[in-house]
Structure 1
Amino acid sequence: MLPPVDSGSILKLRQQILARSDALQGLGQGLGTPSLRGGIGAPEQPRFGTALNEALRSVSAIQDQASAATNAYETGQTHDLASVMIARQKAAIAFEATLQARNRLVGAYKDVMNMPL
């Protein structure tokens, strides 16, 4: 049988977690000040989400180019099979790289979620 739960200790632990979270958030915001980031007028660093979106758009554009090259070859607008195959290989490599990056990110997320507190 489990011992009774002390709600007071749970609330104290919750308050400690919230206080640490606020302190860490304050540290993270402090890093964004111009004095710590290289002075006034320093360019702002791109966010992770923005960089990820740009990378996905780039892969999508490469796949669209490969599709357009394939359609042009199939309809007889071009006879350069080598450029079509190169475009398709570029699209395949870009997709594979994106897939591997996703797998690594999911693995890192699972590792963080499985960390003991």
Structure 2
Amino acid sequence: MGDISINVNMLAARGAILERNAVLRNVASVPSSIANPTVVGRPSFESAMNAVLQRGAGGLSGPNGAAPTGQASPSQPTSFASTLKAQLQKVNQLDEADSSAAEAYERGETTDIAKVMLAGQRSSIAFEATLQVRNKLLSAYKDVMSMQI
């Protein structure tokens, strides 16, 4: 019975990973969505990163039990730099949650290896997504810098 619930959880995690990959593919394939966030039918950079990291966070709370910080209200306009900083903070929070879950398991405070592994995978996926966004930004920067005026 326990194996079935682990398999269901793994399938759910796989589905979430595939969903994140699809969102990242949309962001990566449309560089105009970064420059023009109002493109109809395409997610803006900010909304795509928020969606990926909110799914990755899975309801994780901050270090003191509060909600993660750095989230702007939807009606408040945000700059690219502030959005990127907030997303990097979320990735850092996921990494800290992974480290604390692994340490708690090593100390014997928790025996649920599935939760520890899921925290590790969330952290890994968030880092990989951030790395892919960084690579796309560097590529776009190089393209802009090599343009003839």
TM-based fold match above 0.5? yes
Partner of 1:28: none
The partner residue of 1:76 within 108, 113, 125 is 108
Superposition TM-score, scaled by structure 1 size? 0.63
Structure 1 or 2, whichever has the larger Rg, is 1
Unaligned runs of 5+ in 2: 1-74
Unmatched 5+ stretches in structure 1: 1-42
Task: Compute the displacement of 1:44 (Å).
Answer: 4.5
**Corresponding residue number in structure 2 for 1:100:** 132
| RMSD of equivalent CA atoms | 0.8
1:91 to 123, 130, 141: 123
TM-score by length of 2: 0.49
Identity of counterpart residues, as a percentage? 47
Distance 1:64 1:82 in 2: 17
Counting only pairs closer than 5 Å after superposition, residues 1-117 of structure 1 correspond to structure 2 as 43-117=75-149
Q: How far 1:45 sits from its partner (Å)?
A: 1.4
1:82-112 C-alpha deviation (Å, 9 max, x unpaired): 0000000000000000000000000000000
Which residue identity does 2:142 align to in structure 1?
Answer: K
Higher relative contact order structure (alpha carbons within 8 Å, sequence separation ≥ 6): 2
d(CA) in 1 for partners of 2:105 and 2:82? 35
Q: Give, as a single letter, the amino acid of the residue that structure 1 aligns with 2:105.
A: Y
Q: Distance in 2 between matches of 1:95 and 1:47?
A: 22
The offset of 1:67, in angstroms, is 0.3
Count of aligned pairs between the two proteins: 75
Q: Which amino acid aligns with 1:113?
A: M
